Structure 1
Amino acid sequence: MTALDLHADPVDLTAALVDIPSESRSEKAIADAVEEALRSQAPHLEVVRNGDAVLARTNLGRPSRVVLAGHLDTVPENANLPSSRTDDGAILRGLGTVDMKSGDAVFLHLAATLPEPDRDITFVFYDCEEIDASLNGLGRIQREVPEWLRGDLAIVGEPSNGSIEAGCQGTMRIDVTTTGARAHTARGWMGVNAIHALAEPLRRLEAYEPRVVDIDGLTYREGLQAVRIGGGVAGNVVPDEAVLGVNHRFAPDRDVDQAEAHLRELFDGYDVTVVDASPSARPGLSEPAAKELVAAAGGVATAKLGWTDVARFSALGMPAVNFGPGDPTLAHTQGEQVSVAEIRRVADALRTFLSAGA
């Protein structure tokens, strides 16, 4: 088993985590290492194992509790292991440096080196975030030990360029289906072309003007895009069915039901099927703990234009933000890399926040 030094510089700890392969569904080795390190180096924490997730928390009776959550898994390797550094040492490269082992390293370092925080802290290191949502370790934890996800604020260590990204957009995929009648293309007038019938839904998409919504002083820009089109039987047959796939990103002032109603109204007259949906998350920056975190991180917060697991915490009634080192545009790429200075800056900001509770 790889030994992790939680008291080491969080940059070195990031490299050590990166060097433990942990593709989704293969997190046992890294979960074992994290569990052993927490049990041996953070005796002030209560530690439990849940599948390949590791949970730890203080029980100091503080007036507020913060949940720090990070996933241990990565996408498959792409010739980007083991970790390496630039010659000047300013950049750490490797799979997971961005998404999101640098965030995990910051949390683990704080778990061991902050035994008397002014806020109680729950640490959640979970599995299977990078694959189907039904397998996400947070969902299993919520079903089996839900008390471990309760708090006044959740901080998910997803890459955010070292700044606060609050809330998140919801996402919904639908299929818009048209039907027609088959015929030989030599006698096309005898059929009804279902692909041609998609012209009107596409026109509605082209004319659509997405909303721009202000919530807690943050600007969320919605989106609606065709992402797939399918149809056709053979090269000499008028098609009798066609499907237009559409993705909708909606602001946190709408829930899933409202987003679905909006799309059904937009595509009124057509067969609409919801393929999948994930809820949005309100930023909650008006909550005292969130305000204090923003102040500790430099006083600036932006809207999260995308979906992350903050939505799971928001659904539990908690304000939730993304705050972690790394450029999210580098996530899942062969060239994942993170600034050493940014890892340390995030660690310092969280230490300040957790040491100055209400």
Structure 2
Amino acid sequence: MALGVALDLGTSGYRGHLVDLDKKGKILATAITMRHPLPGANIMDHLHFWMENGPDVGHRIVIETVDKLIGTMGAKPEEIERVSVCGNPAQMSMFEKIEIRDLAFAGQSILKRLNVKVPERKAHSLKAEELGMSSVRRTAEVRIPPSIRHEIGADALAMIMKTGLMEKKETCMVTDYGTNAEMGLFYKGELYTGSAAAGPAMEGQSIDFGMLAAPQAISDIALGENGRWYNIVLSDKLHPVRSALVDPRTGEEQRLDGVVARGITGTGTVAAMAIGLETGIIKLPYVDTPDRKIHLTNGIYFGEEDVREAGKATGAIRAGHRTLIEEVGVDDKEIKTMYMAGASGTYVDPIKAQTV
């Protein structure tokens, strides 16, 4: 069996899949980190840490994290012969240990003053040993996709390729619903790109009980009888399970399954916002309950500060969409399809996302 690893180096955390290369990339195992290995919650924090502490320190942390992530998937290093990596230009540059200051500073004058040589970020391959990786075969091929611009890195390019956006006959948009919210608008054979500082709320961060998608995370909410809400929680195998039926105003709950929630992820945040708006429990920017909290299972709640954080994220994405649409000069009605990518974009209920 020929094994490979697909890595997504995100701003909020890393995600990896062990795949069977002989069976068209069938996923055999998945592993995620609960946060980014470098300190901070956004790309500027990561760049600042890298420049303050030096590339040797930063790169060692990144590679050690990648090795530990791959090591949890159950394959022996000598069995893994290929690694494919995607991420935004900064994350990819840190993974490769190449110049990142051209991404940290704006304007050519400061880059010239600092004598920064902008590296080529074309598609290429490396050997794992060149990066110091120990979790795969030393001679394993590590494939690095191109980073075209600041807002179109390897992750955004993968999103565009996977959706087949460039072959579409209609006007459409695609968005990676993550911390940096890369997006593209395809119109009359041209692709217009941008990104928005959505922040980590879409990844379940900056929320009081927020967490990345993992077992025991509330991933969705559905309306039940008598105004109660079904809390849908991820099982140990990341399967969504109706865990409890909860009165969002009082917290009174009826347990339905053995999966006990310990937090809420980005898709659950979107669901709480959508159901809250539909039922009138959320009257922006307030929560219309006696204690100003939406009660979920196991003592978890979604409060007014969480509403504001989620609002910042959705507002930033909305602003990005509006900017692209207006700059290109497209009428809203001309956009026939919206493709949703990224961990949140893939698993979120699209109708609830549209509501928010």
Structure 1 length-normalised TM = 0.25
Larger Rg: 1
Structure 2 length-normalised TM = 0.25
Structure (1 or 2) with the greater helix fraction: 2
